[in-house]
Amino acid sequence: MIPTIIPTVTVTANASNVGEYRKYTEFCPITYDDYDAGFDWEDLSDECKTMLIPYCSPFATGDPLPSTSFPSTCLPTAV
């Protein structure tokens, strides 16, 4: 039997960074549960990606975006 070495990573969350991240992703319709259920950005049309990415990636925009609604065809439940 060959011993297996499993590397570990320690991550320390910074409460202020988490709060900032949430401000930028507050209106993103994609949740951790969606990812756990198999959601993949590649399943979305280019039009849907263009609409969602600014709301789901804090790196895509300079300021938090206002509340909005998205077409149901762009939501994880539709893909």
pLDDT for 33 equals 93
With a CB cutoff of 8 Å and minimum separation 6, the contacts of 29 are: 52, 55, 70, 74, 75, 76
Separation in Å, CA 41 to CA 2, 31, 50, 52: 37, 12, 11, 10
Give residue-wise pLDDT tens across range 13-26: 566 666 777 888 88
> Within 10 A of 44 (CB to CB), how many other CB atoms are there?
21
pLDDT for 38 equals 93
CB 27 within 8 A of CB 67: yes
Domain ranges for the chain, please list them: 28-78
pLDDT for 79 equals 77
pTM of the prediction? Answer: 0.69
* pLDDT over threshold 60, residue 61: yes
SS3 24: helix
